[in-house]
């Protein structure tokens, strides 16, 4: 690459040399030849690349990821997601839900996201979904791993069960009592391991001991990993689990399935936030039922979720909210945002 230095106009001459008819140091035919060569070269190289890619794709099953859970990089510790999300175009990296309950066009930005989410949920009675329940065995197929994706229907998510969190109510945004959709990240073939079970069926005699041991273990983990931002299970959740398990209405299979669910809790992050956040309601209940797991890319699979409604949040202040998913095989890691999610709410 000759450079026009030294003599003046050297670069101009390099650009276009009228004596030899050279443009950028080459004549027309020279350019022609080299361009044709490179077209052929790149065509050949691209073909080689595509051939290699094709050969590679022959080794791939397009139904499921080749490397699942810890074999792959996604791991076996799901993250937690929330909706609605702030406008990415306006503010990258923001997790602040900030709305004015008095301005329709303002809060509708947030409620619309949940609207859309609701609309995407397959309607009951479709061929892709069935209604599932704990201990009913109604979808005895959902855990059959040998079945192909086409043969498995997903469990139905009923959008009628979310109480005040409904489109008509603008998901509470109108009233300054916003609903936040909290869901667990899908990881292929991942299943929660429940508390109080030791991996077995529910046993009434063992349950309290196992459960309290597990909670103690959790506290030990918290001490050992101070960086991860782990916290003990909130008391309300402990009470809720114990209460449900102790209810006599449910059979042991129900209780096993219940305990194998993923529990969800949301809290103010700091003491001040805890004060400002006010009471919280979970719709339909503070857990994601176990029958939604594992995710195996089923037809019509809809991510199950919990609606978290802040009943009386303090307006005009920024509230840090942290939602955590609870299962024996979910580790909380604040820096990596695993098993938990953080967002802020501000209501004007």
Least distance in Å: CB of 168 to another protein? 27
Show contacts with another protein in window 133-172 (CB under 8 A). Answer: none
| Contact status: 101 vs another protein (CB under 8 A) | no
For residues 128 and 153, give the distance between their C-alpha atoms in angstroms, rounded to a whole number. 5
Give the residue, chosen from 22, 23, 31, 81, that forms a contact with another protein under the rule CB under 8 A: 81
Do the Cβ atoms of 234 and 267 come closer than 8 Å?
A: yes
Which DSSP string corresponds to 97-109? EEE-TT-HHHHHH
54 binds another protein (CB under 8 A): no
The full DSSP string for 180-228 is EEEEEPP-BT-----TTSTTS---TTTHHHHHHHHHHHHHHHHHH-GGG
Binding of residue 11 to another protein (CB under 8 A): no
Least spacing, CB of residue 246 vs another protein, in Å:
34
CB of 340 to another protein, least distance (A): 9
Please say whether the dihedral angle defined by the alpha carbons of residues 159, 163, 165 and 170, taken in this order, is positive or negative.
positive
Contact 324, 263 (CB under 8 A): no
List C-alpha distances in Å: 133 to 91, 288, 294.
41, 12, 15
Stretch that binds another protein, among 83-91, 112-120, 132-140, 210-218 (CB under 8 A): 83-91
Q: Which stretch binds another protein (CB under 8 A): 50-58, 140-148, 202-210, 251-259?
A: 50-58
Nearest to 30, CA basis, from 40, 43, 20, 45: 20
Interaction between residue 329 and another protein (CB under 8 A): no
Binding range to another protein, per CB under 8 A, among 108-116, 241-249, 259-267, 336-344: 336-344
Stretch that binds another protein, among 14-22, 46-54, 172-180, 194-202 (CB under 8 A): 46-54
Q: Is residue 183 part of the contact set for another protein (CB under 8 A)?
A: yes
Alpha-carbon gap, residue 84 to 91, rounded angstroms: 14
In the list 186, 324, 328, 332, the residue contacting another protein (rule: CB under 8 A) is 186
Instruction: Determine the 3-state secondary structure of 269 from DSSP.
Output: coil
The SS3 assignment for 82 reads strand
Residue 77's contacts (CB-CB under 8 Å, 6 or more residues apart) are: 329, 330, 331, 333, 338, 339
Site for another protein in 251-310 (CB under 8 A): 295, 297, 301, 303
- Report d(CA 323, CA 78) in Å as an integer: 13
> Pick from 17, 65, 164, 300: which binds another protein (CB under 8 A)?
65
Q: Which is nearer to another protein, 74 or 241 (CB)?
A: 74
Under rule CB under 8 A, residue 92 binds another protein: yes
Shortest reach from residue 298's CB to another protein, in Å = 9
185 scored as a contact of another protein (CB under 8 A): yes
CB of 105 to another protein, least distance (A): 23
DSSP tag of 295: B
By the criterion CB under 8 A, which residues form the site for another protein? Answer: 1-3, 5, 25, 33-34, 37-38, 41-42, 45-46, 48-49, 52-53, 56-57, 60, 62, 64-67, 72-75, 78-82, 85-86, 88, 92-95, 183, 185-188, 295, 297, 301, 303, 335-338, 341
């Amino acid at each position: 690459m000759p450079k026009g230095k030294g003599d003046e106009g050297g670069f101009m001459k390099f650009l276009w040399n009228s004596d030899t008819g050279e443009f950028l140091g080459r004549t027309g035919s020279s350019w022609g030849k080299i361009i044709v060569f490179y077209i052929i070269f790149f065509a050949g190289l691209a073909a080689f690349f595509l051939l290699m890619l094709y050969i590679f794709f022959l080794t791939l099953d397009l139904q499921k990821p080749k490397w699942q859970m810890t074999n792959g990089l996604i791991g076996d510790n799901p993250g937690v997601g929330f909706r609605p999300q702030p406008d990415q175009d306006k503010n990258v990296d923001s997790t602040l839900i900030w709305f004015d309950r008095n301005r329709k066009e303002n809060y509708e930005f947030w409620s619309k996201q949940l609207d859309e989410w609701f609309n995407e949920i397959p309607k009951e009675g479709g061929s892709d979904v069935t209604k599932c329940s704990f201990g009913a065995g109604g979808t005895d197929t959902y855990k059959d791993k040998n079945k192909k994706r086409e043969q498995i229907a997903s469990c139905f998510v009923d959008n009628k069960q979310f109480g005040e969190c409904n489109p008509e109510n603008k998901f509470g945004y109108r009233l300054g009592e916003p609903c936040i959709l909290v869901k667990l990240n899908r990881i292929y073939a991942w299943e929660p391991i429940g508390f109080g079970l030791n991996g077995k069926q529910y046993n009434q005699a063992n349950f309290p001991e196992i459960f309290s041991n597990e909670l103690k273990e959790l506290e030990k983990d918290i001490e050992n990993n101070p960086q991860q931002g782990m916290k003990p299970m909130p008391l309300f959740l402990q009470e809720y689990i114990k209460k449900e398990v102790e209810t006599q209405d449910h059979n042991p299979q129900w209780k096993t399935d219940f305990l194998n669910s993923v529990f969800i809790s949301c809290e103010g992050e700091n003491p001040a936030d805890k004060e400002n956040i006010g009471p919280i309601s979970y719709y339909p209940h503070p857990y994601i039922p176990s029958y939604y797991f594992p995710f195996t890319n089923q037809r019509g699979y809809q991510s199950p979720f919990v609606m978290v409604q802040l009943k009386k949040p303090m307006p005009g202040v920024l509230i840090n909210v942290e939602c955590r998913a609870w299962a024996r095989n979910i580790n909380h890691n604040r820096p990596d945002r695993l098993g938990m999610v953080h967002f802020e709410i501000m209501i004007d």
